[in-house]
Structure 1
């Protein structure tokens, strides 16, 4: 019996092996059909099918080949490993900045996430991705340790025109930063007075910056110096549930925004 790591190496040495096993796990295929899909030669397919048969991963059926129960088990494991590695590659450049201790979901839920990072030509690309979503959303809720100028302006404009409902839990430090700028402070107070907006303040720190627009979750990722490193966008239902539960928890422990508490 081959050791598990040797079997992994056996599969990994050939993309044809992986592809053939995955195809046979979906149903019976003839060698001609396998050749058409994979581009492998008949000689190569012969060796692959023989190796698989020795491992009891495939069997002959009605002139074709199909995966056995254990062959399907291996194919499912390959699919899972490939998915994990694809997700890892997507997150590799931003994982150092992810607040993983605060994320109440398995990172595999980010398999379909869109990760946007700054570039030399588009240094604000992560933020712009979120702003675009905010600008087109009917409903928005957020919890964050910061509220930048552009996000505030977008929320203010959308709420003022009656195109959006806005709910946010902000850390006290985020409010203090806005209170230090007369223009931003005036804009925040106007936003808070609107009947379509409600802001609450949490004295304790909020270690995340999360915005949910019409059910789509956006996570802004910053480094220890506060520099924006990436935005992650996902429609995954598990991540959405986590965001909603976290927002509710913060909301219930926060106080209604009172501008006078931040004015000297």
Structure 2
């Protein structure tokens, strides 16, 4: 292969190649192990292993194959790249509204985010989802103002009083507005 881009293209053009290099990075495997992991044919596994050996990513020891340090490095980096691309694809429609720069975090902080959107049939779906999430939560960390709407402030206050460890980052005027909605329910301790 003539360039790094050629090698990346070779590796990522096949899901089986990524599965094999990733499996070998975790430890030694036989060809039959790799067939079982990937569902690929024996000849496909053989071609892959020969190419990986040529690249210096895999070594053979008897019937076992294992990743070299270079192979483990490649496996880690390609799976990291795929995870990042999957994260970006998941968040593509909402990424513009994530306050990553303001909070000093990267989009990776939202890698496991579940996005709940309203629609014409269920305009309150996000509020209902919020209530579902905090119903049995033991801890809550939040930022932004969406979680403290009057419609669900009661759920939040009830759970905090029940012992839910809570950390919320809001400007003081927002906190004051929430407390004004239900001063008895909030029982303000500190802001």
With the shorter chain as reference, the TM-score category is 0.7 to 0.9
Corresponding residue for 2:189?
198
Is contact 1:138-1:164 (8 Å) kept?
yes
Is contact 1:140-1:164 (8 Å) kept?
no
C-alpha deviation, 1:129, in angstroms: 2.0
Is contact 1:137-1:164 (8 Å) kept?
no
1:157 and 1:32, CA in 2 relative to 1: closer, same or farther beyond 3 A?
Answer: closer
Corresponding residue for 1:88?
88
Query: Any unmatched runs of 5+ in structure 1?
Result: 179-183, 201-264
* C-alpha distance after superposition, 1:86-132 (max 9, x if no partner): 21122111111112221222322322233322244433222222223
How high is the TM-score relative to the length of structure 2?
Answer: 0.80
Is contact 1:143-1:170 (8 Å) kept?
no
Corresponding residue for 1:45?
45
C-alpha deviation, 1:47, in angstroms: 1.3
- In proportion to residue count, which structure has more strand? 1
Relative contact order (C-alpha < 8 Å, sep 6+): which is higher? 1
Q: How does 1:214-225 map to 2 (within 5 A)?
A: none
Corresponding residue for 1:56?
56
Q: How does 1:232-251 map to 2 (within 5 A)?
A: none
CA RMSD of aligned residues (A): 2.9
Secondary structure of the corresponding residue to residue 115 of structure 2: strand
How high is the TM-score relative to the length of structure 1?
Answer: 0.60
C-alpha deviation, 1:137, in angstroms: 4.5
Is contact 1:145-1:170 (8 Å) kept?
no
- Structure 1 distance, partners of 2:102, 2:174, is 19
Corresponding residue for 1:133?
133
Between Structure 1 and Structure 2, how many residues are aligned?
188
Corresponding residue for 1:68?
68
Corresponding residue for 1:163?
162
Query: Any unmatched runs of 5+ in structure 2?
Result: none
1:175 and 1:36, CA in 2 relative to 1: closer, same or farther beyond 3 A?
Answer: same
* C-alpha distance after superposition, 1:167-202 (max 9, x if no partner): 8655426746x7xxxxx94x523235x3xx3364xx
- Structure 2 distance, partners of 1:90, 1:116, is 12
Corresponding residue for 1:16?
16
* C-alpha distance after superposition, 1:210-243 (max 9, x if no partner): xxxxxxxxxxxxxxxxxxxxxxxxxxxxxxxxxx
- Structure 1 distance, partners of 2:167, 2:21, is 49
Q: How does 1:92-171 map to 2 (within 5 A)?
A: 92-137=92-137, 144-145=144-145, 147-157=148-158, 162-164=161-163, 169-171=170-172
Is contact 2:100-2:106 (8 Å) kept?
no
Is contact 2:154-2:185 (8 Å) kept?
no
